[in-house]
Amino acid sequence: MTSNESGRFRRLGEEGRSRLVFSIDGQPAEGCKGDSLLVAMLMQIRHLRSSEFGDGNRAGFCLMGACQDCWVWTDTGERLRACTTPLAAGMRIATKAPEQAWPSLA
């Protein structure tokens, strides 16, 4: 797969791997077998999630499972650390916390 202009990352080899179809916020997306979820997402879009505290979008930071900046969600509410999660076909990923849809339980 060649580089996607709208994505953040750029591929530099290992082309020709088999493709895996997944989705980001309901939009269809495609990655390669062997991609981390982080790489697969950042080949498509420019961020993974937004900071909880209002300072903008985040796209991961350490890529080695240490900084915890790249947690995303599945549409069923599971959390995945994108840099240490291999992409799998059929993943339905959300870039926003599903709890935002919860009612305020006061």
Partner 1 sequence: MAEPRIVIVGAGPAGVRAAETLVASGVRPIVIDEGGRDGGQIYRRQPEGFRRSYASLYGSEAGRAEDMHRSFDALRDRIDYRPETLAWGIWEKQLHLLQGSRTSAVDFDALIIASGATDRLMPVRGWNRAGVYSMGAAQIALKSQATAIGKRVVFMGSGPLLYLVAAQYSKAGAEVAAVLDTSPFHLRVKALPQLIARPDVLLKGLALTLKLRRGGIEIQTGITPVEIEGRPEIGVETIRFRTSKGKVRTIACDAVALGYHLRPEAQLADLARCEFRFDAQTRQFFPVKDADGRSSVAGVYLAGDGALTLGADAAEVAGRLAALAVLSDLGRQVAGVQVARLRRRLRIFERFRRGIAAAFPWPAGAAAALGEDTVVCRCENITAGELRAAVSDNGAVEINRAKAFSRVGMGRCQGRYCGHAAAEVIAACAGVPVEAVGRIRAQAPVKPLIIGAESDAEQAA
Partner 2 sequence: MKPMQADVIVIGGGLMGTAAAFFLRRRGRSVILLERGLVGQQASGVNFGNVRRQGRFLPQLPLANRSREIWGRLKELLGEDAEFLATGHIRVCYDPRQIGVIEAYAQKARDYGLDLELLNANSLKARFGFFGPEAIAGSYSPNDGHANPRLAAPAFGRAAARTGVAVFENTEIISIAKPGDDFQAIAADGRMFSAPIALVTAGAWGGALSRQFEEPVPIAVHGPQMAVTEPLPYRLKPVIGVSTAIPQEVVYLRQVERGNIVFGGGARGPAFADIRRAYAVPGHLGNQLRQIRRLVPALANMRVIRTWSGIESYLPDDIPVMGPSARVSGLYYAFGFCGHGFQLGPGVGDVMAELIDRGSTMTPIEPFHIKRFAVEAARSVSA
Binding region for partner 1 (CB under 8 A) = 3, 8-14, 17, 33-36, 39, 43, 46-47, 51-69, 71, 79, 86
| Residue 80 parent element (H or E) | strand 79-81
Give whichever of 4 and 95 is closer to partner 2, judged by the CB atom: 95
CB of 38 to partner 1, least distance (A): 9
Beta carbons within 10 angstroms of residue 74's beta carbon = 13
DSSP state of 90: T
Does residue 6 contact residue 21 with C-beta atoms inside 8 Å?
A: no
In 3D space, the residue among 28, 52, 37 whose CA is nearest the CA of residue 86 turns out to be 37
- Among 16, 27, 55, 102, indicate the residue that binds partner 2 (CB under 8 A): 102
Q: Specify the stretch interacting with partner 2 by CB under 8 A; choose among 3-11, 12-20, 34-42, 70-78.
A: 70-78
| 63 binds, options partner 1, partner 2, none, Cβ within 5 to 8 A by partner type | partner 1
